[in-house]
Amino acid sequence: MPAQLLPVRKNELELLNGRVVRCKECPRLAAYIRKVGREKVKRFADEKYWGRPLPSWGDPGARLLIVGLAPAAHGGNRTGRMFTGDSSGDWLARAMHESGFANKPASVALGDGLVLRDAYITAAARCAPPDNKPLPEELANCSRYLSAELGILRNVQVVLALGKIAFDAYCKASGAKGLAFSHGARFSVAGRTLLASYHPSRQNTNTGRLTWEMWSGIFKTAKSMLC
């Protein structure tokens, strides 16, 4: 960890996350996450779902910011934490642990002891969308939160965007134009490095579009960029 980091503004992040959790800007999403929380799925029938917009989380002094797409209906929308309780969360936690950004290789539930080191996790959309496809106006509503985070997280040097939607969301929030998404692409944006990766969704990992070697390599690259 560098000797000099800017002061951490935890209270501003807490206030922002409080606004996120109370947000009701998108009626379609608000109705969907409540419906999922009521109906559940058989394997989680006995669990109480979070069923609200999800706050971001991690190390407020982080130099690495990870931007995902949106919570999973039976992952984050169930557990109350981004990338927690589903296969994407498993892939992310394992890679972050291997690269020194997390103290454990698994993300199961709130209170599981997982701690992020020098990394902060956010998303383009804070509510689980039907078919994992937020509408443009829903992404626009959520963009205010990402923009606010970029102003608060002053130590961020590298932004890792997971998938094209996350990539485009960060470009919009940071004012970048004309950048094309591709796995492994990197760009200098507003004094930070934007690094792109395929999202660790089942569709990508089960088909081999994103292999473990590719995924692990992205985190090694991100780690090497920090100074």
Q: Where residue 62 sits, what CATH number does that domain have?
A: 3.40.470.10
Edge to edge, what strands does the sheet with 186-189 contain? 57-58, 119-123, 64-68, 158-162, 192-197, 186-189
| Matching residue, tokens 């009626």 | 27
184: left (phi over 0), alpha (psi -120 to 50) or beta: left
* 202, part of any domain: yes
The mean per-residue pLDDT over the stretch 184-197 comes to: 96
CA distance 65 to 59: 10
% of the chain surpassing 70 pLDDT: 98
For residue 2, being part of any structural domain is answered with: no
Task: Tokens 């454990």: give the residue.
Answer: 104
Note the pLDDT tens digit of each residue in 82-140. 999 999 999 999 999 999 999 999 999 999 999 999 999 999 999 999 999 999 999 99
| Closest by Cα among 100, 76, 94, 101 to 86 | 76
**pTM for the complete prediction?**
0.95
**pLDDT score of 126:** 98
Contact 123, 132 (CB under 8 A): no
Phi, psi of 193 (to 5 degrees): -95, 125
Residue 80 neighbours by CB under 8 Å, 6+ apart: 50, 52, 54, 110
Is 167 within the bounds of a domain?
yes
Could you tell me the pLDDT band of residue 6, with boundaries at 50, 70 and 90? confident
Burial 149-166 (b: 16+ CB within 10 A, else e): bbebbebbbbbbbbbbbb
Q: What is the mean pLDDT of residues 172-200?
A: 96
Predicted pLDDT at 10: 77
- What whole-number percentage of the chain has pLDDT above 90? 94
User: Does 38 reside within a domain?
Assistant: yes
- What is the rounded average pLDDT for all residues in the chain? 95
Say if 1 falls within a structural domain: no
Domain assignment present for 3? no
State the angle between helix axes of 87-98 and 212-225 in degrees (0 to 180), rounded to the nearest 10: 50
Asked whether residue 185 is domain-assigned, the answer is yes
Residue 139 counted as domain residue: yes
Domain range spanning residue 169? 10-225
- Quickly state the pLDDT bin for 9 (edges 50, 70, 90): confident
- Contact by Cβ (8 Å): 56, 62: no
Structural domain total, the chain: 1
